[in-house]
């Protein structure tokens, strides 16, 4: 979106310097490497970088204007907007761009499944909107990524924006809602992610529930107890989704509802239930719930059900989510280690338990940012794994708790292997895994379990 100069100045309360050279409208970029002639370069600052160090590069590439918060770094003769803080200015510019966007913004948040649901929804909407659908290719879900996405929205090019709203700190979603103002909000679930940073479950719930603070039409998980408890407080009627038969029996008032039950899609509306045979090739109940969420989101956007059903066989998981890698050095691998929390670990183990193999071997790394509940949650995951795997490899800060839970759940000590590094895990798999086994790699991003795949490939 090109922002008129006067709109941009008001939005960020900027001081205009060398205004005679200022462009009439701003196309904002924060990457000096990709600046095009006439663009406006905004100098973001982070812990390890300072965009002010790249002003000369941006100018050399044709930047017509700069946005800076360090007056001493301005370049005389170049039109400049001087602001108090460039990150806040970036978000304010994104909010101004959103104000000008005439299409629909759909926002997705939750403790798990955000990126997967976003990917499924984008795939379903592509058949209707094609290039007029805008979404981030990666999970750029913080204040910088969401701002970047909103600034890309263009009335001449786009009808729908699908955004992912992440939250590592209390109140993060509210900030994103303030600039994104979604008309539709999909809440996948409320679990245990980032409990340590959030401070409490109550603060975590409040952070996620802020998705609806500005009137977004809610799409909620019928299997999520927090959503069921909070839904009556909403001013808008919720649309529900599920991937278990049990959710259909929770409360008949949860409608409209879209549920994936076996090889059928169940649609409940106005107390009438209709079933459709469907072909969904996505493994795991948790991922099928994400499919149901995407279908419900598309319906809330106004699409018809029948064309959506035709698209279901082609749905694909995003990379790093229960990614069946096939045989790597003769070992059948499933990589699901983009990130992890307790509910996600348990869901992945449930999906893994359905895999056909001589033995199921899981490599579980510890989870991060769970605060005071870390030990308890790791033991719970270990106990859950015990009933679903034949051999368990554990590593990381809470490897002992994973192992303790697994023993409590029924695994013998010889079935549990504690490993210190990814290289050791790869070496153990080379020495012990057989071609008719299947191996799951699951854990927090900080443990870089993709290194196991790389080691096995070398």
Domains, the chain, in order of start with CATH, read: 3-90 (3.40.1390.10), 101-314 (3.40.1190.10), 323-457 (3.90.190.20)
Q: What is the pLDDT of residue 60?
A: 97
Inform me whether the pLDDT recorded for 248 exceeds 60.
Answer: no
Mean pLDDT of 257-272: 91
Structure confidence by residue, pLDDT tens digits, 195-208 = 566 667 888 889 99
User: What is the rounded distance in angstroms from the CA atom of residue 38 to the CA atom of residue 22?
Assistant: 10
The pairing of beta strand 79-82 with beta strand 65-68? parallel
Q: What is the pLDDT of residue 424?
A: 97
Structure confidence by residue, pLDDT tens digits, 128-140 = 999 999 999 877 8
- Higher pLDDT: 111 or 100? It is 100
Inform me whether the pLDDT recorded for 101 exceeds 70.
Answer: yes
Structure confidence by residue, pLDDT tens digits, 363-409 = 999 998 788 889 999 999 999 999 999 999 999 999 999 999 999 99
Inform me whether the pLDDT recorded for 362 exceeds 90.
Answer: yes
Inform me whether the pLDDT recorded for 443 exceeds 70.
Answer: yes
Q: What is the pLDDT of residue 373?
A: 85
Q: How confident is the model at residue 444 (pLDDT cuts 50, 70, 90)?
A: very high
Closest CA to 15 of 80, 63, 76, 62: 80
Q: For residue 78, how many other CB atoms are within 10 A of its CB?
A: 18
Mean pLDDT of 2-22: 96
What is the helix (H) or strand (E) element at residue 451, kind and residue range?
A: helix 450-457
Closest CA to 21 of 70, 69, 81, 61: 81
Q: What is the pLDDT of residue 196?
A: 61
User: What is the rounded distance in angstroms from the CA atom of residue 451 to the CA atom of residue 432?
Assistant: 18
- Across the chain, mean pLDDT equals 93
Where does residue 430 fall: left (phi above 0), alpha (psi -120 to 50 degrees), or beta otherwise?
Answer: alpha
User: What is the rounded distance in angstroms from the CA atom of residue 77 to the CA atom of residue 298?
Assistant: 49
Q: How confident is the model at residue 245 (pLDDT cuts 50, 70, 90)?
A: low
What separation in angstroms does the CA of 197 have from each of 146, 172, 249, 346, 374? Answer: 21, 12, 35, 22, 12
């Amino acid at each position: 979106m090109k922002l008129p100069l006067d709109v941009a100045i008001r939005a960020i309360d900027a001081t205009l310097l060398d205004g005679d050279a200022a462009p009439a409208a701003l196309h904002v970029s924060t990457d000096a490497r990709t600046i095009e002639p006439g663009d406006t370069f905004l100098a973001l600052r982070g812990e390890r970088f300072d965009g002010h160090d790249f002003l000369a590069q941006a100018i050399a590439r044709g930047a017509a204007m700069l946005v800076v918060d360090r007056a001493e770094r301005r370049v005389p003769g170049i039109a400049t907007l001087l602001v108090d803080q460039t990150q806040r200015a970036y978000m304010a510019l994104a909010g101004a761009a959103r104000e000008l966007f005439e299409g629909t913004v759909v926002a997705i948040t939750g403790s798990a499944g955000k990126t997967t649901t976003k990917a499924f929804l984008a795939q379903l909407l592509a058949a209707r909107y094609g290039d007029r659908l805008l979404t981030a290719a990666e999970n750029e879900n913080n204040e910088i990524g969401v701002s970047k996405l909103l600034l890309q929205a263009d009335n001449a090019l786009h009808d729908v924006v699908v955004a992912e709203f992440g939250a590592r700190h209390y109140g993060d979603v509210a900030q994103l809602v303030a600039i994104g103002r979604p008309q539709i909000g999909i809440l996948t679930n409320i679990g245990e992610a980032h409990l340590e940073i959030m401070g409490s479950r109550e603060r975590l719930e409040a952070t996620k529930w802020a998705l609806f603070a500005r009137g977004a039409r809610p799409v909620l998980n019928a299997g999520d107890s927090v959503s069921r408890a909070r839904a009556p407080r909403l001013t808008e009627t919720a649309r529900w989704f599920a991937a278990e038969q049990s959710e259909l029996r929770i409360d008949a008032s949860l409608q409209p509802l879209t549920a994936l039950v076996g090889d059928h899609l169940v649609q409940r509306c106005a107390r009438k239930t209709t079933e459709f045979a469907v072909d969904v090739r996505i493994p795991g109940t948790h991922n099928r719930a994400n499919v149901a969420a995407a279908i419900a989101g598309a319906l809330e956007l106004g699409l018809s059900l029948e064309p959506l059903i035709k698209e279901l066989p082609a749905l694909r998981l995003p990379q790093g989510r229960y990614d069946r890698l096939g045989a790597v050095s003769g070992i059948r691998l499933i990589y699901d280690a983009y990130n992890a929390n307790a509910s996600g670990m348990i869901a992945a183990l449930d999906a893994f338990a359905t895999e056909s193999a001589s033995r199921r071997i899981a490599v579980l790394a510890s989870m991060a940012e769970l605060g005071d509940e870390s030990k308890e949650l790791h033991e719970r995951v270990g106990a859950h794994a015990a009933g679903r795997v034949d051999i368990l490899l554990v590593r990381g800060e809470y490897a002992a708790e994973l192992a303790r839970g697994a023993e409590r759940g029924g695994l013998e000590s010889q079935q549990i292997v504690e490993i210190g590094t990814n290289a050791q895990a790869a070496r153990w798999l080379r020495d012990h895994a057989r071609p008719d086994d299947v191996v799951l790699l699951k854990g927090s991003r900080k443990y870089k379990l993709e290194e196991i795949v790389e080691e096995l490939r070398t």
